[in-house]
Amino acid sequence: MKEEAFEELIYDWNVVGEVPAYKKGVELDDETLRDGLQSPSVTHPTIEEKIRILHLMEELGINALDIGYAGAGPKAQADALALAKEIVACGLKIEPNCAARTVKEDIMPIIEISQRAGIGVEAAVFIGSSPIRRYAEEWEISRMLRLSEEAVRYAIRNDLPVMYVTEDTTRADPETLRKLYTVAIESGAKRICVCDTVGHATPEGVCNLLTFIKRVVEETGEEVKVDWHGHRDRGLSVPNSLAAIASGADRIHGCALGIGERAGNTPMEILLVNLKLLGIIEQDLSKLPEYCRVVSEACHAPIPFNYPVVGKDAFRTATGVHAAAVMKAEAKGHTWLAERVYSGVPASMFGLAQGIEIGPMSGESNVRYWLKKRGIEPTDSLVGRILREAKEANRILSEEDVIRIIKKCQ
């Protein structure tokens, strides 16, 4: 059978009925090296590690990255400058942006970085917007509007493109958002960012909010792009990101492994996997495991064994019935079939492969498959001995465990 014929073996409820009209080729902004590092539990990478991560972002087709919060001090500014210079020196397509509060003191370092590196660095100027934040900070809306206008105009005068960011957008009232975004756009911002800063939103809420924001943009009469920045306090960051795309967002933010403050940000790799499977993006994602591994090691952020796609167990099985289905599909001589008969995600799409292990819940077929894959003759006596020990174990047998049993039988 050809691959097209195999596709008929899967009935896809995801495309039955009304299906969201996802925008093809949506842009991505990687916040790993700024917002991701706000996690209290991660280690900040060295500049060499940051540069390696930058290149992996480029290879994954990520469109933009936050190179840091330059206003945080000399070290943050130096690292941001080094990343901007690397982009220029290597002719990378990825576009840098840099976070700043709506004050000149935060924007000035970005201007210096842009001038010294010889590249436009988008100023991501942010301010809180929700009533609860305004109450806690004792902010008056008139002051917020003045700060926003001054910050955007100052950045524009110094040749910086501007992304105007409202923090806690998903808990802000419509009138405040209308005023803030309108003044930012009228001051020259060509991109605005809608933020679910505390992970409050549901997909329905995202659709409601983005519909409103798109109307505000239309009312200005300006060509302005809209970003979505989500957090996963309620575990809804990926569904919310997909809802944002369906509602017309132009660019989505995320962090490798979902690192970030509290429960973290939208996990970039999970977002990429879903965008690829939905046909929204087309780029090669075979470098995804390396991207996650490098960030994990640089930030000392362990990857859970059952983490989707890049976790140790993502494509491993030791259950006899499941393994048997995979092996029978593989025997039909088509990788497409074998990868999907017991998985919703094809391993090879991400530079990975399925693994069949031997453990307490395994069957004889697991053992024979394991031995054949390693060029070892699966005699009945050897298979029986390995399976007996596996049934008595309290875990999956390691490679060393099986080799030890084989040596005993020789």
* Confidence at residue 1, expressed as pLDDT on a 0 to 100 scale: 57
Question: 90 and 141, same structural domain?
Answer: yes
Among 299, 327, 347, which residue terminates a domain? 299
Kindly report, residue by residue over 114-170, the tens digit of the pLDDT: 999 999 999 999 999 999 999 999 999 999 999 999 999 999 999 999 999 999 999
Longest dimension (CA), the chain: 84
Q: Which uninterrupted H or E stretch holds 172?
A: none
Question: 58 and 32, same structural domain?
Answer: yes
Among 242, 270, 299, which residue terminates a domain? 299
Per the structure, the complete domain to which residue 386 belongs is given by 316-409
CA atoms within 13 A on the CB side of 407: 6
Question: 374 and 281, same structural domain?
Answer: no
Mean pLDDT of 159-188: 98
Kindly report, residue by residue over 301-326, the tens digit of the pLDDT: 999 999 999 999 999 988 888 888 88
Asked whether the beta carbons of 322 and 386 are under 8 A apart, the reply is no
Question: 282 and 157, same structural domain?
Answer: yes
Question: 366 and 224, same structural domain?
Answer: no
Question: 328 and 295, same structural domain?
Answer: no
Question: Taking 80 as the threshold, does the pLDDT of residue 5 lie above it?
Answer: no
Burial of 159 (0-12, 13-18, 19+ CB in 10 A): exposed
In order, the DSSP letters of 274-296 are: HHHHTTS-----TTHHHHHHHHH
Mean pLDDT of 210-228: 98
Measuring CA to CA, how many Å separate 183 from each of 45, 50, 114?
37, 35, 25
Contacts of 208 (CB under 8 A, 6+ apart): none
Question: 97 and 187, same structural domain?
Answer: yes
CATH of the domain at 79: 3.20.20.70
Confidence band, pLDDT 50/70/90 cuts, at residue 3: low
Q: Is residue 10 part of a domain?
A: no
Question: 76 and 199, same structural domain?
Answer: yes
Tally of structural domains, the chain: 2
Angle at the Cα of 236 from the Cα atoms of 235 and 242, rounded to 5 degrees? 150
Alpha carbon distance 214, 219 (integer Å): 9
